[in-house]
């Protein structure tokens, strides 16, 4: 049981380049999330998917797109990278099964460290 | 507007003593609160949670207290151990519970 996996672990992009961050979970969770963590800012929600086939904006969605490919996979795309997108990106998932205790705790992947020059 | 605040960026505690980490929130719609622990180069891991119908929840050495009238929660770690050295994030969500709002974190250092 690998939990939440993210690829790549590290990436360096030039301004204007595009890339997709991949995330997969093997816990049969319904909901998946993308966060970014910046120094002194905590974790900020970029996008989330409450269930397969749905996506919604979080606190900082500008410059990003997402795809919930299936129940397991949730990708984050940067179409034209900017230095302001230099950050550590975390994917998370949660069971989110109504009525079940502890079903809203989120489980995080190890992160992708992205640098945009 | 920071809806979840952790006003202490860092805290040092002697091994064996109690560590108390604090968190304040401003949004009265929050009704579910969580603490996460994060080691360097790893993702956050869930530690303990509390819903607004309770004022205390315990799990081993970890206890979370919630004071709804003051919009304040705290995490107590007793006794503190060197492996507890990490960054601790407080998080909150409204009814529906899908979206978490995180605080900025407190770096806890346990001194042997």
How far apart CA A117 and CA A14 sit, in angstroms, is: 5
**Contacts with B104 from chain A: Cβ below 8 Å:** 40-42
Sort B52 into a burial class: Cβ within 10 Å, 0-12 / 13-18 / 19+: middle
Optimal mutation site among A104, A107, A110, interface B, most CBs of chain B within 10 A: A104
Among B32, B42, B89, the residue with its CB nearest the CB of A42 is B89
A45 and chain B in contact, CB less than 8 A: yes
pLDDT exceeding 90 applies to what percent of chain B? 85
Omega before residue B79 within 30° of 0, cis: yes
What radius of gyration, in Å, describes the C-alpha atoms of chain A?
Answer: 14
B1 and chain A in contact, CB less than 8 A: no
Sort B59 into a burial class: Cβ within 10 Å, 0-12 / 13-18 / 19+: exposed
Optimal mutation site among A2, A43, A93, interface B, most CBs of chain B within 10 A: A43
What mean pLDDT is reported for chain B? Answer: 94
pLDDT of residue A101: 54
**Contacts with A106 from chain B: Cβ below 8 Å:** 46, 100
Query: Closest Cα of chain B to A10: distance in Å?
Result: 11
How far apart CA B45 and CA B42 sit, in angstroms, is: 9
How far apart CA A75 and CA A80 sit, in angstroms, is: 16
Among A40, A42, A90, the residue with its CB nearest the CB of B43 is A90
Q: Worst-scoring range by mean pLDDT, A1-15, A30-44, A96-110, B66-80? A: A96-110
> Is A42 in contact with B44 (Cβ distance < 8 A)?
no
Does the pLDDT of residue A12 top 90, yes or no?
A: yes
How far apart CA B86 and CA B41 sit, in angstroms, is: 11
How far apart CA B78 and CA B14 sit, in angstroms, is: 11
Does the pLDDT of residue B2 top 90, yes or no?
A: no
CB contact burial B39-50 (16+ within 10 A = b; e otherwise): eeeebbebbbbb
**Contacts with B6 from chain A: Cβ below 8 Å:** 42
CB contact burial A55-85 (16+ within 10 A = b; e otherwise): beebebbeebebebeebbbbbbebeebeeeb
**Contacts with B98 from chain A: Cβ below 8 Å:** 31, 48, 50, 94, 96, 104
pLDDT exceeding 70 applies to what percent of chain A? 93
Whole-Å CA distances, B61 to B47, B54, B75: 11, 18, 10
In degrees to the nearest 10, what's the CA dihedral of A6, A51, A37, A101? -100
A72 and chain B in contact, CB less than 8 A: no
pLDDT of residue A74: 97
């Amino acid at each position: 049981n690998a939990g939440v996996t993210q690829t790549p672990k590290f990436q360096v992009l030039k301004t204007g380049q595009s890339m997709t961050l991949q995330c997969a979970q093997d816990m049969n969770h319904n909901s998946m999330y993308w966060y970014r963590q910046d120094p002194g800012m905590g974790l900020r929600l970029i996008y989330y998917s409450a269930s397969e086939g749905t996506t919604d904006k979080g606190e900082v969605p500008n410059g990003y797109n997402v795809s919930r490919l299936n129940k397991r996979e949730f990708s984050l795309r940067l179409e034209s990278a900017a230095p302001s997108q230099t950050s550590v990106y975390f994917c998370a998932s949660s069971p989110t099964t109504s009525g079940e205790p502890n079903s809203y705790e989120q489980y995080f992947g190890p992160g992708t460290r992205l640098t945009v020059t | 507007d920071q809806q979840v605040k952790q006003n202490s960026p860092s805290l040092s505690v002697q091994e064996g003593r109690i560590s108390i980490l604090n968190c304040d929130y401003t949004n009265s719609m929050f009704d579910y609160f969580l603490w996460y622990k994060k080691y360097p180069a790893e993702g956050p891991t869930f530690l303990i949670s509390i819903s607004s119908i309770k004022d205390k929840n315990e799990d081993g050495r970890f206890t979370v207290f919630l004071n709804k009238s003051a919009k304040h929660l705290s995490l107590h770690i007793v006794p503190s151990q060197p492996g507890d050295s990490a960054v601790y994030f407080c998080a909150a969500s409204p009814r529906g519970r899908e979206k978490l709002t995180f605080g900025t974190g407190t770096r806890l250092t346990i001194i042997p």
